[in-house]
A and B are shown apart, each in its own frame.
Chain A
């Protein structure tokens, strides 16, 4: 536990965002808390009503804004508070993962899971497992590099990027 809490300074500390549904995984993470199960502090949870609500663009935004890994978690199949939001979400992720993989975006950085309100320990496992995976993969600079048009190395005139780099020095 000590290692997770006070990680070695030299070690890369991944930033992880968790997109979770209110009824299962958020409540499950609450249970992790009430059970005082310790896990890595790299993760920050965003609460949604349902996995069906989670827009795929938000995942990409998190990567662009500096996330190295993402967790998406909701109710187990047939347990959705809204009966079928997780089923719709599951289809969305199937397609989304397929597309990202085709484009060379690292789908291993997105961990999907079902964590019920009773699975406090599982939530800790999911977080710790994801932190380990992402730590091995390293920071997702590849994607962020594309996000920052100021340091793009593209040689095309049409970008005019080099000019931009120097034009704004302070940022």
Chain B
């Protein structure tokens, strides 16, 4: 790992160079009253002082709608054509927080646990992740409770920490180094800034070990029903989550031609598990809420050795009825 200093002007110059070299740069930008990721044409569009973007950066590798293959039928014969993975652009995603970068870990685990998902992997290969360590947090943030932190570098290729007059840059991977080379002059020698001094202090909200232990025996607990009462069963939490990976397969058919699509889905939807027979193994919202929590905090750690939560707090911010996940976990 290499440490450098970069001024804001230097950073913007470097990012503009990246844009000029045909890389797709995604970064937080203003979207109405909210801040969310968007493709930027110039570095000065980028927002730095946000606490959290509405959505996570997962769509850079797992878009909300993705073409798996296309087909054409003629008199009973079908021609298939797979998605052209080589056409995916070189991508830089900038300004995400450590919790988002950490999310690529569980996401990657899901897309590779038995079948290696070519689409996801191809996109990840072409993506460089530049995180911005957190100097602020709000009442929804709880990364420190799930083994993360405001300066956590897991999943980052480069991490920037806002310091006096600029940023402390940690070049963490080869991908990161290669990116720096686009405009090395923008980077200055490390000024010896102490990263921790600048990071937000975020107390733990619960003890994750205890929570996970309790969950092991909580399947039949009445708490699910009690907690989920106000849940209205939308998919907002899943869609903004950096680790939620459920998808649905749809077909965009036009006569004899069509495309097979992969679209986001959510275990919170009542129809998510509905069988054709009419049977639904998760009939109530309580069961679906239980599934969401157990999946993230029990099944994934058990099977994939990763936790399905990075403490970004997006689900709680996005929830129309204030299903605060940290509060719920604490109350188990």
**Interface residue tally on A, bucketed by range:** 10 to 19
Q: CA of A97 to CA of B220 in the docked complex: distance in angstroms?
A: 52
Chain A residue numbers with a CB within 8 Å of B123 are 163
Is B70 touching A166 in the complex (CB atoms < 8 A)? no
Q: CA of A65 to CA of B252 in the docked complex: distance in angstroms?
A: 12
Partner-binding segment picked from A24-32, A52-60, A154-162: A154-162
A34 within 8 A of B: no
Which of B67, B83, B93, B259 interacts with A157 by CB under 8 Å?
A: B93
Chain B residue numbers with a CB within 8 Å of A169 are 84, 87
Which of B40, B89, B259 interacts with A163 by CB under 8 Å?
A: B89
Contact A160/B59 with A168-B83, A171-B259 known, Cβ cut-off 8 Å: yes
Mark B221-263 against chain A: 1 for CB-CB distance below 8 A, else 0: 0000000000000000000000000000000001001010000
B247 to chain A, nearest CB (A): 13
Q: CA of A97 to CA of B272 in the docked complex: distance in angstroms?
A: 34
A48 within 8 A of B: no
Is B89 touching A171 in the complex (CB atoms < 8 A)? no
Which of A65, A149, A168, A170 interacts with B65 by CB under 8 Å?
A: A149
Q: CA of A171 to CA of B255 in the docked complex: distance in angstroms?
A: 14
B38 within 8 A of A: yes
A167 within 8 A of B: yes
B258 to chain A, nearest CB (A): 9
Contact A160/B70 with A166-B89, A168-B83, A168-B84 known, Cβ cut-off 8 Å: no
Chain B residue numbers with a CB within 8 Å of A168 are 67, 70, 81, 83-84, 259
Interface centre among B41, B67, B88, B93 (most CB of A within 10 A): B67
A164 within 8 A of B: yes
Which of B65, B87, B257 interacts with A171 by CB under 8 Å?
A: B257
Mark B275-304 against chain A: 1 for CB-CB distance below 8 A, else 0: 000000000000000000000000000000
Is B67 touching A164 in the complex (CB atoms < 8 A)? yes
B132 to chain A, nearest CB (A): 16
Chain A residue numbers with a CB within 8 Å of B330 are none
Q: What residues make up the interface of B, taking CB atoms closer than 8 Å to A? A: 24, 26, 36-41, 55, 57, 59-60, 63-67, 70, 81, 83-85, 87-89, 93, 123, 254, 257, 259
Q: What residues make up the interface of A, taking CB atoms closer than 8 Å to B? A: 65, 149, 155-160, 162-171
Q: A157-B26, A157-B37, A163-B123 are in contact. List 12 more A-B contacts (CB 8 A).
A: A65-B254, A157-B59, A158-B64, A159-B64, A159-B65, A163-B87, A164-B65, A164-B67, A166-B88, A167-B87, A168-B67, A170-B81
